[in-house]
Every structure is written in C-alpha cells, then in structure tokens.
Amino acid sequence: MREFGADMVFIVGSPRSGTTWMQRLLACHPLVATGQESSLFESYIGPQLRAWQRDVAENSGRMVGLGCHLREEDFLVALQAYMQALMQPMRAATPEGGLFVEKTPSHALFLPEIAQLLPQARVIHVVRDVRDVVRSLLTAARSWGADWAPADARQAAQMWSRHVNAALAGGREMGPKRFCTVRYEDLMADTHSVLERVCCHFLGMAWDGEGLAKAVARNSIRRGLNGKAVSGVPLPLRGEWAARLGQDVVPEPEGFVGYAPRRLGPVERYHVWREGRRAMERAGYAKGGLW
C-alpha cells in the first residue's frame, strides 16, 4: 500500500507559464484524475503550518498561540488529519493505481510545506521565459484576470521571479526523484517527447505512442474557426461550485487560453530585465539575449 500522498502530483510555476496546458496533457492518461485549482497549500494548509512555525520561532517574550496547548508533534498530527480530510474528495476520483494531478501555480511558494507533509508527493515545475509571461500577465490584467494579474511590467516580472526562485529552491531540496522541471519552450517545440519524458520516466506511468499522440492533438495550442484559441480537454468540476453552477466541467473565462500580442516598451523591457534576468539564468535560459 502506497504512503499517503504518493499518488499526488503538483504542477506549479508562475501564473501564465503553461501549467494548465501541462495539466490537460496529463489528464488524457487513463490513470490520471485531475480538477480545478484547489489552492490546498496556498490558502489552507500552508498558512496554518507557517503560523505555527512563526509562533514557536518568534515568541521569546509572552507565550501565546497553540504552542501553549499543543506539542509540535500533536499539532502536526492534527494538521495532517485536516489535510487528509480535505484531500479525500480528490483522491476518491483517482483510478486504482493512478495519480491525482493538482495544478495550482502558486503552490510553487509552498514547496517546503508540501515536502514536509507529503514526503512522497511529486512536483512538476513549468517555467517559461519571463518576457512572454509578463506579456501574458499584462494581457490578462486588462480582461479576465483584472482582479489578480499585475498591470505593471515590473510587478509582473517580480511575480514571475518570486515563483521561479521559490520553485527552484524547493526543487533542490526535493531532489530529481520528486521534482521535475519542464520548460514551456521545449514543450512547444516537441510536445510529444516532453510529455513522454514527464509521464513515462518521471511519473513512471506507461503510455503508448498512440495515447501520447492523441493527448498532444487534443491539447495543441491553435486557433479555431472563429479565431479564438482552442482550450483543449475540459477539466472536471466537483464540489460546491459544481452544485452552484449545475455543470461538471470548469468554465474558463474568455481569453484564458490565448496569445499575448502586446509588445513590451523600452522601459517595460528594462524592468523585466532587471527583475528577471538572474532567475532566468538560474532556470537555465541563456545569459543575455534580446531584451
């Protein structure tokens, strides 16, 4: 019997880096279940663990907090039980012997918590050139992503750098058996080979050539007859949102999948270079280039 969490795969990366594309490709495998972003560690588990760590580290004066009532091992047992209860609906959808692929980009910022509480879970980090991510973020900020996407190139580049640096640091701690990096540009250039490497070699799930080819075809980034980008295989929707909307697939907003035709101006390019060049080099992109 596998240890709890061994059937979990987290796809992380800066928003607008291609994480949803990677998720949809893997979702075509018959042994993979998936769903909409859960923010499990970003919004629920991670902040609680960090609050405990902050309390016990900083309380040098008057002792307050749960540390007054619980030993650390007792807190972690309670947090594990809470986490497992929240994860149960996800894991219930997973085929026997299969995997649940959870995609929340900002889980890149919570890899230490994932590694601590789910030591057998694996992570796929999708990284994309900061310039393209900034352009996509700025495009999203003017439409469907206005409530979260930075509308300023400098802030967008900072968002990218923060996610990439955190993911790379987490990956070094987790090691190659648990952490895999996929460059968006490689995925675009040879989707079939990259998908085969991730699925068959990193995740250890056999997938014949025909199945791989169908997954690539169903999720290829292209434009439909109406000129809009084709989104790929739909993601299943469950829980409260499915009940409220009366549907079982994720309704993505118009423009969620698409292109970013906006060009960066000279000042914007400078800010992107200043904020992103070091993380670009750490992520394996060639030094310099056309900024």
Whether residue 59 contacts residue 65, with contact meaning beta carbons closer than 8 Å, is answered with yes
> What secondary structure, in 3-state letters, does the chain show?
CCCCCCCEEEEECCCCCCHHHHHHHHHCCCCEEECCCCCHHHHHHHHHHHHHHHHHHHCCCCCCCHHHCCCHHHHHHHHHHHHHHHHHHHHHCCCCCCEEEEECHHHHHHHHHHHHHCCCCEEEEEECCHHHHHHHHHHHHCCCCCCCCCCCHHHHHHHHHHHHHHHHHHHHHHCCCCEEEEEHHHHHHCHHHHHHHHHHHHCCCCCCHHHHHHHHHHCCCCECCCCCECCCCCCECCHHHHHHHCCCECCCCCCCCCCCCCCCCHHHHHHHHHHHHHHHHHCCCCCCCCC
pTM, to two decimals: 0.94
Give CA torsion, residues 169, 94, 238, 128, to 10 deg: 30
pLDDT in tens, the chain (291 residues): 578 999 999 999 999 999 999 999 999 999 999 999 999 999 999 999 999 999 888 766 677 889 899 999 999 999 999 999 999 998 888 999 999 999 999 999 999 999 999 999 999 999 999 999 999 999 999 999 999 999 999 999 999 999 999 999 999 999 999 999 999 999 999 999 999 999 999 999 999 999 999 999 999 875 444 445 556 889 999 999 999 999 999 988 887 877 666 789 999 999 999 999 999 999 999 765 545
| Structure tokens given for 182 | 């996929």
Residue with tokens 């796809």: 11
Name the amino acid, one letter, at 93: A
